[in-house]
Amino acid sequence: MKAIREAILLLLLAVVLGGVTRWIHPKPVRTQERTHDADALTIDDVSRLSTPIRWIDARSKAAYEAGHIPAALLLNEDSWEQLLPDLIASYAPDMTLIVYCDSNQCDASKQVARRLREEIGLHNVFTLEGGWQAWKAHAAEKR
């Protein structure tokens, strides 16, 4: 009985000390939260599309050269002006453009998609949920 009483007292002491610690060392601030992209399509969404698709790889040239979705065009903001003419030359109005980067952790696809809409004036521009990693996993499942 005495041991239980001591345990309760020590627990209360721990709670008090924990509170003091939290007061001295408040949790570091989380400055920015990731946001969900409302224009993102999943691989399943893409497979249900009936329009022709133009895949656009928004990663670095090195990442693109290491592997990309078949027939994808490289278009990133590192070399936007140099790469843009290839997309313009092959553009068809009934195409759906799907931009991807490495995974959900990158924002390059969102940036490229935004510029295609706002700056170039294209419609039917989406991003791929999960990016290149999701596409690779999907391709591996199909094998």
Partner 1 sequence: MRLWLSAAIALFICMPVCHAALMWKNPSVDLKAEAGASEVVTEYAFTNTGNASVTIKEITTGCDCTTPDIAKRTFAAGESGIVKVTFRLGDRTGEQRKTITIRTDDPANPESLLGLNVTIPQLWRVSPRFLYWRQGEAAKSQEIRIFVAGEKPQRLVAAEVLEGGVKAELREDVPGKAYTLIVTPAGTAVETKAIIIVRPEDKTLPLVPAIYASVIVDHPEKSATTEPAK
Q: Which residues bind partner 1 (CB under 8 A)?
A: 3, 6-7, 10-11, 13-14, 17-18, 21-22, 25, 27-34, 43, 46-47, 49-55, 59-60, 63, 69, 71, 76-82, 84-85, 88-93, 95, 105-108, 111, 118-122, 135, 138
Nearer to partner 1, 67 or 118 (CB): 118
Smallest gap from residue 28 Cβ to partner 1 (A): 5
Please enumerate in sequence order all residues whose Cβ is within 8 A of that of 135, keeping only pairs 6 or more positions apart, or say none. Answer: 43, 69, 100, 128
Residues 14 and 64: their CA atoms lie apart, in Å, by 54
Residues 28 and 133: their CA atoms lie apart, in Å, by 31
Pairing of strands 73-74, 125-128: unpaired
Smallest gap from residue 133 Cβ to partner 1 (A): 14
Residues 127 and 89: their CA atoms lie apart, in Å, by 21
Residues 35 and 33: their CA atoms lie apart, in Å, by 6
Please enumerate in sequence order all residues whose Cβ is within 8 A of that of 32, keeping only pairs 6 or more positions apart, or say none. Answer: none
Nearer to partner 1, 31 or 140 (CB): 31
Smallest gap from residue 13 Cβ to partner 1 (A): 7
Smallest gap from residue 86 Cβ to partner 1 (A): 11
Smallest gap from residue 15 Cβ to partner 1 (A): 9
